[in-house]
Structure 1
Amino acid sequence: MQVDGPCANPFMLMMTPQKVLEAMEKSDALRRLQHQVFHPLDSRPALQGDADIAAFDAAIERASLVLPEEESAPLA
């Protein structure tokens, strides 16, 4: 049984990237996929709640908290 087409040997796809791109352009299944474009580096307007949270976080970062050391209790 011999399989023809781009998936016959997946490792051969690395040798012929142009054929892979052509197959992708002709693929109805890929065209039917839903897609969404995300721009993670886009900045969003700061909301008041975000400013309050940021100020709280900054205050915590500036505070120098010294936590007491735990007493070493024997494990039993």
Structure 2
Amino acid sequence: MHIDTPSANPFALMMAPRQVLEAMEKSDALRRLQHQVFHPLDSRAALQGDADIAAFDAAIERADLVLPIDEEVPRP
């Protein structure tokens, strides 16, 4: 049994990109899809957050912290 539709075999789609693009252009289902373009990394808030985190990290690095040792670890 032989099926002529290109979508019946996904590997055949790789060999016929022009047919795939033509089918996409004719597709009513694709035209009805809602779409939006998001650029979350381009926002100014992300840059300000990075500056706050960098300032916090710098303050921690400058601090002279000595953590208490609860018990002595024997050395071999």
TM-score, normalised via structure 2 length:
0.58
Larger proportion of helix: 2
Which amino acid is the alignment partner of residue 33 of structure 2?
L
Structure-2 change in CA distance of 1:50 and 1:22 (3 Å): same
- Give the alignment's Cα RMSD to 1 decimal: 3.8
Segments of structure 2 that go 5 or more residues without pairing to the other structure are 72-76
Q: CA offsets, 1:14-49, max 9 Å, x none?
A: 001111111111111111111110124423257x88
Provide runs of 4+ in structure 1 moved above 6 Å.
48-51
Find the counterpart in structure 1 of residue 10 from structure 2.
10
Measured in 1, the distance between the counterparts of 2:13 and 2:69 equals 60
Q: CA deviation at 1:58?
A: 4.2
Q: CA deviation at 1:51?
A: 6.3
% identity of equivalent residues: 83
Q: CA deviation at 1:64?
A: 5.5
